[in-house]
Amino acid sequence: MISKKNLILIIASIGIFVEALDIAIVNLAIPSIQTHYGLTGDAVQWLQTLYVLLYGGFLIIGGKLSDVIGRKTIFMLGAALFLLTSLGAGLSPSFHLLAFFRAVQGLGAALIMPSAFSIVTHTFTEKQERAKAIGIFSSFAAIGSGSGLSLGGIIATYWGWQWVFFMNVPVLALVILLAWIYLEKDVPAKSNSTPDVWSGLLLVLSLLMLSYAVHELGDIGKHYWTLLALTGAIIGSYFVLKHRLTTLESPLIDLSVFKSRVTVNGIVVFMLLGAFFTGYLFLLSIMLQKDMQFSAARAGVTLVPFSILSALFAKFALPYVMKRLNIWQTSIVGMVLMLSGAVLLVLCILNHYNFAALLFSVACVTGLGMTICFTSLSVICVQEVEAKHYGLASSVATTSYFLGGGVGLSLLSLFLKSNAETASVTLTAVLVLGLYAAIGLVWLLIYNRRKSIAFNMA
């Protein structure tokens, strides 16, 4: 018989599994959605851009709300919001409505993730027991992310792209029911301070304006005044946000976490990683189906071995690598693999969509590079932060990853072909993608060299 603690762990883990799954699962359904609504390549990317921007923008608020209002309440609210928006997305008669539901789905995910983690850490209080529970919880998130691409392709082919969203409904309904029955009742917070929601809204609005401005740069002649107005609004939002963060008693983000240059550099590279990996998955899904004429199911099955490779490498090889190399060297290895994946994608296009080059590219990026980069950069971002700020620094790092993904994808869309029926992934788009990884690699190399010089001088 399953103990109550383990049942609570299962409830939280399934919630995070669905949230992690949905980040990736839409990618291989995108060409089907594009064809269904007759969209251009630069228009359909908003499905992912809106999701990651709202997810990243509200992630910190989700964590603070779970502390103030209660983790059970926020978890159930996030799950209910995710359920309703999944249903709405699958039933959407227009792309604009689909994009709206996808955006609000990101908000639901931002409530689920921190509250689910909080549920696990508060349920398992003994040190070793907690570490094991967090490991199981994290593995559900990793499996969800890894299997998303494969499942998305198979579901889109045999059931239709709408079922990429519909499949969430019965699972989340069961999660909400079990959470209502088994999760401990929320205890009201002792602190009277309320989360700085307005700063969170301002942050999301600023990033949406930035993404839209980047998206419209391709038609700067037509949208000159719009871009000028957006630039002014973004600059104004920055100063208002900075004022709030420096003057409020309980701001959205405690700016003291940015005192560490190590943390700042880690966050910058995390943002570049988000731009690269989000863009890579987007381009890969379009290239396989639009340019190489794979069915969504065949594309999904093709990517299954690399999900397995990623899990095996994380379990058996990564700990050994991190023992032999310092954390900066480990992150450099990961970013070299990312850049190699982009170079191989260029060779794939230049050699008339060479399948072997594509497979090696996917192995470098999704099989090895992402696991190394995400793990090492997560450690870097909290390396020199006070223990009491570990949670905040980690949340800011994850937020920067998603925000980088949203803005980076908008920039990438400028270089996609606009015809929905012909080849969409251009060589220029892949070169821009590689530029994200190249900047990240150079950034790491420069900072690692400075650290080495400082260490030798000391």
Check whether 334 has a pLDDT greater than 80.
yes
Higher pLDDT, 351 or 134: 351
Give, as one character, the DSSP assignment of residue 216.
G
Residue 300 sits in the same domain as residue 364: yes
Angstrom distance (rounded) from CA 107 to CA 101 = 10
Question: How much is the mean pLDDT over the chain?
Answer: 85
Query: Residues 205-241: pLDDT tens digits?
Result: 888 888 888 877 767 777 788 889 988 999 999 899 9
Is the same domain home to 238 and 170? no
How far apart are alpha carbons 25 and 146 in whole angstroms? Answer: 9
- pLDDT confidence bin for 127, thresholds 50/70/90: confident
Q: What is the pLDDT confidence band of residue 258, given thresholds at 50, 70 and 90? A: confident
Token code pair at residue 310: 């990623």
* pLDDT at res. 417: 61
Residue 268 makes CB contacts below 8 A (sequence gap 6+) with 400, 443
Backbone φ and ψ for 326, nearest 5 degrees, come out as -75, 170
Question: 85 with 214, same domain?
Answer: no
How many Å apart are CA 418 and CA 431, to the nearest integer? 18
Of 362, 424, 433, nearest to 146 by C-alpha is: 362
- Cα–Cα dist 106/19, whole Å: 9
Cβ atoms of 241 and 202 within 8 Å: the answer is: yes
Of the three residues 189, 207, 242, the one that is the final residue of a domain is: 189
Q: Is the pLDDT of residue 108 over 90?
A: yes
Tell me which of 71-80, 224-233, 431-440 is least confident: 224-233
Q: Are residues 81 and 101 in the same domain?
A: yes
User: Do 380 and 326 fall into the same domain?
Assistant: yes
Last residue of a domain, one of 189, 204, 237: 189
pLDDT class of 423 with cuts at 50, 70, 90: very low
Side-chain-side CA neighbours of residue 15 (13 Å): 36
Integer angstrom CA distances of residue 357 from 150, 310, 341, 362: 20, 18, 9, 9
**Banded pLDDT at 146 (limits 50, 70, 90):** low
Number of H helices, E strands in the chain: 19, 0
- State the residue for tokens 């959470």: 179
Last residue of a domain, one of 189, 217, 238: 189
Distance CA 289, CA 30 (A): 10
**Looking up tokens 């198979």, which residue turns up?**
154
pLDDT of the residue at 58: 87
Question: Which parts of 305-456 are beta strand (E)?
Answer: none
Question: Is residue 358's pLDDT more than 90?
Answer: yes
Which amino acid does the sequence have at 249?
E
Residue 374: which pLDDT band, with cuts at 50, 70 and 90?
A: confident
Is the predicted pLDDT of residue 307 greater than 80, yes or no? no
DSSP states of 75-125: HHHHHHHHHHHHHHHHT-SSHHHHHHHHHHHHHHHHHHHHHHHHHHHHH--
Pair 268, 372 in one domain: yes
Residues 6+ apart with CB under 8 A from 179: 11, 15, 72, 75, 76, 79
Our count of domains for the chain comes to 3
On whether both 243 and 313 belong to a single domain, the answer is no
**335 CA to centre of own chain:** 17
- 172-192: pLDDT as tens digits: 999 999 999 999 887 766 655
Whether residues 266 and 237 share a domain: the answer is no
- The single-letter DSSP state of residue 261 is H
Residue 445: domain span: 254-458
**Residue 390, pLDDT above cutoff 90:** no
Per DSSP, the three-state class of 414 is coil
- Asked if 399 and 61 count as a contact pair (C-beta separation under 8 A), the reply is no
CA trace torsion 299, 304, 305, 310 (10° rounding): 120
Residue 15 reports pLDDT greater than 70 = yes
* 156, 244: one domain: no
Percentage with pLDDT > 70 across the chain: 91
Nearest to 384 by CA among 266, 273, 281: 266
Cα–Cα distance between 455 and 404 in angstroms, integer? Answer: 31
**Over the Cα atoms of the chain, what is R_g?**
21
**In the numeric block, which tokens belong to residue 177?**
């029911």
Question: Out of 93-97, 268-272, 314-318, 348-352, which region has the weakest mean confidence (pLDDT)?
Answer: 314-318
Residue 128 has pLDDT above 50, yes or no: yes
Residue 455 pLDDT greater than 50, yes or no: no
Mean of pLDDT values over 48-62 = 87
Report the half-sphere exposure of 23 (CA within 13 A, side-chain side).
Answer: 29
Query: 50-54, 85-89, 213-217 — which one is most confidently predicted on average?
Result: 85-89
Are residue 263 and residue 168 in the same domain, yes or no?
Answer: no
**pLDDT on residue 279:** 92
Q: Produce one character per residue of 343-378: b if its CB has 16 or more CB atoms within 10 Å, e if not.
A: bbbbebbeeebbeebbbbbbbbbbbbbbbbbbbbbb
Which tokens go with 403? 């925000």
**pLDDT for 298:** 86
CATH number, residue 35: 1.20.1250.20
Q: Is the pLDDT of residue 18 over 90?
A: no
Question: 400 and 306 share a domain?
Answer: yes
Given this model, what pLDDT does residue 178 score? 93
Looking at per-residue pLDDT, the higher value among 33 and 139 belongs to 33
13: tokens are 């883990």
Task: Check residues 155 and 190 and name the one with the higher pLDDT.
Answer: 155
Residue 420 has pLDDT above 50, yes or no: no
pLDDT of residue 135: 66
CA 423 to chain centre: 26
Nearest to 59 by CA among 380, 274, 377: 274
pLDDT at 262 over 80: yes
Do 165 and 222 belong to one domain?
no
Length, in residues, of the chain: 458
Q: How far is C-alpha 406 from the chain's CA centre? A: 9
Lowest mean pLDDT among 9-23, 128-142, 415-429: 415-429
